[in-house]
Structure 1
Amino acid sequence: MSFLAASSADAAPANPRSRVLLASLIGTTIEFYDFYVYATAAVLVFPHLFFPAGNETTALLASFAVFGAAMVARPLGAIFFGHLGDRRGRKVTLVGALLTMGIATFLIGLLPTYAMANWLAPALLVILRLAQGFALGGEWSGAALVATENAPKGKRAIFGTFPQLGAPVGFIIANGLFLIIAAMMPSDDPSRPSLAFLDWGWRIPFLFSIVMVAVGLWVRLSLVESSAFEKTVKTGQVKRLPLAAVFRSHWKELILGTFYMLATYVLFYLMTTFSLSYGRAATDAGVPGLGYSYNTFVLMMIVGVVFFGIFTLVSGPWADRWGRRRTLIWVTIAIALFGLVWVPMLAGGSFGVMAWLILGFSLMGMTFGPMGALLPELFPANVRYTGSGISYNVSSILGAAVAPFIAVALWSYGAGSPFWVGIYLTAMSVLTLIALLLGKETKDVDIEA
């Protein structure tokens, strides 16, 4: 592709661009694979296996609460790995985050259930989920920095879409694997997995993550540090305490970056975690849903996620041409309007549901893609890992940790209607729009400064 070709005027990159793109893509693919595996299990498996039998909605909310616990750990991981990344370098930090994440995910696949270990089972699940969140706190910002700090001039947003592309790729791998396992272990009840799936089948995707981590390590260990970090070291600008420096001198950027991501996070979790619950719930349940079988609805979601990937890549050239801020303002307005049309779209039968999934995931790609460049560009090189990581992960608490919980509560409040869930998305989009209007364009900043 032409945007990967090096200009004759550019200096030879320390890292080959194909390796940069692969290294930034593979880590976030694993990150989102782990997320989707856990999110799918939080809907299909954990309410049945890790919480006492009783009210199904209560068990689902408890499962989502554990899911959200990781988001609380993510800012702590961002601080820890951000400190290492701004002081010791991007490479060693990314390797550490990847190992922590992979080991925690693998161990979830070995956990005893509530029937085996009583309350020890959900307690261990919470601990490993917190470890996942801690590791994820350092993963995204490092991958985004690898992409943007090694990008050719004028192509940072395009390169920044590759770590973002890990979200749709991870979704397809994780849910494709779950789909294959579920098809091999069919259930007589479409609203509940089979006994074999609940007994041991659900563990396979968690255990498989160790293979993906090995591939990620192999790619990342071949990288060298970016020129932006090397310049920071050579000029003596490395901060002893990057966290203190970023709060002292760049607190406005921290706040803006956090709210830039808010609508993105809410949309992301509504279109993945909540939609899977809503789509599978029986139409005659206490809190009715769409009544699709797991296999059918996941296949529909995968079609939508293909559009997620396409528009993630499309958003890069848009953001490089028109600017990150201008692109995101229009996309955020579209997300706000999308939240207002949930009821008529979802009332339109299978065609309406499919259109809802395609539109939601397309908007997700358009808002998620530019973030790979925008958040790193808000901060100078000596606090970039810490600053971008904190913004990204604090937003995960405001948008992601509570989104599935709020969505299920609003779904119950609306007696099965998605109206209030859509309004929630619109309200969060308005907050992001305000932040974008208050912010400045970043596409022309010096990434090595």
Structure 2
Amino acid sequence: MTSTPTRQPARASLAAFIGTTIEWYDFYIYATAAALIFGKLFFPSNEPFYSTLASFGTFAVGFFARPLGGLVFGHLGDRIGRKKALVATLSIMGLGTVGIGFLPTYASAGALAPALLVALRIAQGIAIGGEWGGAVLMAGEHAPKEKRTFLASFAQLGSPAGLILALLAFRSVAHLDHAALFSWGWRLPFIASAVLLVVGLLIRSGVGESPEFEALKTQRRTAALPILEVLRDSWRTVLLCLGANVIGVAGAWFVNTFMLNYTTQTLGLDRALILDCLFVVAFIQFFTQLASGWFAQRVGAGRFLKLAAGLAMLSPYPMFVLVSTGKPAAIVIGIAIAVMCMSSSYAVMAGFMTNAFPVRVRYSAISISYQCCAALAGGLTPLVGTLLAHDFPGQWWPLALFYSALAAVSLVCIAVLQRRQPAATQAGAAIALTE
């Protein structure tokens, strides 16, 4: 007799949270360094605008690599298992991040330095591209159906937790004098990732494979080429999921990466002050996401997501008004308003998307949806924001309109998805479109 796969909802959710925290820490320290450090060290120029643009270009490269990671590890996750794919993605991310900490700069290695930076950034992108879908599924597929929206949101908690760790790391070196920071101080947050890598691998080894995948494998019903099945049968749903993710993805990089550059270079505010403000906001984001997953489980994911996207459309206007004052409390409140709306959508989207696809192709489907959105909306948002700030000096309203447009895209796609998959968007509903 074949034994029934054991569910480990608490352990799987904790492992998903800790694993994604480590991977997002790696991703966020690169984002912070791209906004503050890399332009001067790897892309020196007489014009800071062009150095910043080049630095954010390497930031975008990592996003463009994410669909490849989603494709490769989505295939592996649907074929050989979610757990094995996740161990591989965590290892690639950790090694790539530590490698950045040992890179030579342009001053010592010339053009080789930015080339190596781009190569390791691509490795980061591939790793995070494969990580997200597996972490969401390990948490969600171990959970009982009536708790899936809430427990799947634990994988999303890794984003604010990783941001908190990244900001702590950079706050610890931001107070160094300029020469020390740009010589060796910036390297420490990257090298510290080696410790986190070991911790993450130990924790993930203690969680069993997804019970839904194990059942499918036992029945020999896994897909031979899952991505082809997705593109053949569910391409419309993939596009809608891509659009639904826009504000959760782009909004995060707008407030946590572009705003860091905007406040320090355009508004002339102190770097340490902005890092401190973002640090406080990261805690607000963490608890907002935790509460959002719990609340959406009770009122329905689709209904909750539409409300969050609608509020996100309004949020950039008070944000820019308050941030422009330059006062710490006003900056925290302004950014927190936008972050609470954006992160509410981000927290619940994982479970919402999981319910939209069958188990046999689920890893591939949610990965390609989310990672293509990340490549387009996430990778380009800091670049577009930098160009708008340059073309409209001293005016924040074009930036606010851009942010509202991102939220509007999500609102429309969420509404259409809810109509197409009504059973899948209700809290505690049976999983739609499964085997």
Q: Are 1:99 and 2:91 matched, yes or no?
A: yes
1:164-179 equivalences in 2 (<5 Å) = 164-179=156-171
Partner residue, 2:186: 202
Partner residue, 2:311: 334
Partner residue, 1:228: 212
Structure 1 residues 145, 162: CA separation in 2 closer, same or farther (over 3 Å shift)? same
Q: 8 Å contact 1:15–1:223 — kept in the other structure?
A: no
How far residue 24 of structure 1 moved from its aligned partner, in angstroms, is: 0.4
Partner residue, 2:197: 213
Partner residue, 1:354: 332
Q: 8 Å contact 1:13–1:150 — kept in the other structure?
A: no
1:105-254 equivalences in 2 (<5 Å) = 105-183=97-175, 185=176, 187=177, 194-254=178-238
Partner residue, 1:79: 71
Q: 8 Å contact 1:242–1:382 — kept in the other structure?
A: yes
Q: 8 Å contact 1:304–1:362 — kept in the other structure?
A: no
How far residue 12 of structure 1 moved from its aligned partner, in angstroms, is: 9.4
Whichever residue aligns with residue 276 of structure 2, its letter is L
Q: 8 Å contact 1:86–1:385 — kept in the other structure?
A: yes
Partner residue, 1:317: 294
Q: Are 1:279 and 2:256 matched, yes or no?
A: no
Partner residue, 1:392: 370
Q: 8 Å contact 1:324–1:370 — kept in the other structure?
A: yes
Q: 8 Å contact 2:320–2:334 — kept in the other structure?
A: no
Q: Are 1:365 and 2:340 matched, yes or no?
A: no
Whichever residue aligns with residue 121 of structure 1, its letter is A
Residue 271 of structure 2 is aligned with which of 294, 307, 313? 294
SS at match of 1:23: helix
Whichever residue aligns with residue 128 of structure 1, its letter is L
Residue 53 of structure 1 is aligned with which of 41, 45, 52? 45
Q: Are 1:446 and 2:431 matched, yes or no?
A: yes
Partners of 1:343 and 1:301 lie apart in 2 by: 15
Percent identity, aligned pairs only? 36
How far residue 339 of structure 1 moved from its aligned partner, in angstroms, is: 2.8
- The aligned length equals 424
Partners of 2:262 and 2:64 lie apart in 1 by: 25
Q: 8 Å contact 1:341–1:422 — kept in the other structure?
A: no
TM-score under structure 1 length normalisation: 0.91
How far residue 89 of structure 1 moved from its aligned partner, in angstroms, is: 0.4
Q: 8 Å contact 2:312–2:407 — kept in the other structure?
A: yes
Deviations 1:43-101 (A, max 9, x none): 12101100133210100010000000011110011000000000000111100111111
Whichever residue aligns with residue 327 of structure 1, its letter is F
Partners of 1:232 and 1:312 lie apart in 2 by: 31
Q: Are 1:260 and 2:244 matched, yes or no?
A: yes
1:39-50 equivalences in 2 (<5 Å) = 39-50=31-42
RMSD: 1.6
* Unmatched segments (≥5 aa) in structure 2: none
Deviates more, 1:306-315 or 1:412-421: 412-421
Deviations 1:201-245 (A, max 9, x none): 111111111111111111111221121101211222211101101
Deviates more, 1:74-83 or 1:366-375: 366-375
Residue 16 of structure 1 is aligned with which of 8, 19, 24? 8
Whichever residue aligns with residue 392 of structure 1, its letter is Y
How far residue 363 of structure 1 moved from its aligned partner, in angstroms, is: 1.6
Residue 394 of structure 2 is aligned with which of 416, 420, 436? 416
Partner residue, 1:38: 30
Whichever residue aligns with residue 249 of structure 1, its letter is D
SS at match of 1:33: helix
Q: Are 1:405 and 2:405 matched, yes or no?
A: no
How far residue 348 of structure 1 moved from its aligned partner, in angstroms, is: 4.1
Partners of 2:44 and 2:171 lie apart in 1 by: 26
Partners of 1:16 and 1:37 lie apart in 2 by: 31
* Unmatched segments (≥5 aa) in structure 1: 1-10, 188-193, 282-287
Q: 8 Å contact 1:307–1:365 — kept in the other structure?
A: no
Whichever residue aligns with residue 382 of structure 1, its letter is R
Deviates more, 1:296-305 or 1:113-122: 296-305
Q: Are 1:378 and 2:362 matched, yes or no?
A: no
Whichever residue aligns with residue 233 of structure 2, its letter is S
Whichever residue aligns with residue 219 of structure 1, its letter is I
Partners of 2:6 and 2:340 lie apart in 1 by: 34
Partners of 2:192 and 2:259 lie apart in 1 by: 25
Q: 8 Å contact 2:250–2:381 — kept in the other structure?
A: yes
Partners of 1:231 and 1:399 lie apart in 2 by: 36
Whichever residue aligns with residue 304 of structure 2, its letter is T
TM-score under structure 2 length normalisation: 0.94
Whichever residue aligns with residue 220 of structure 2, its letter is G
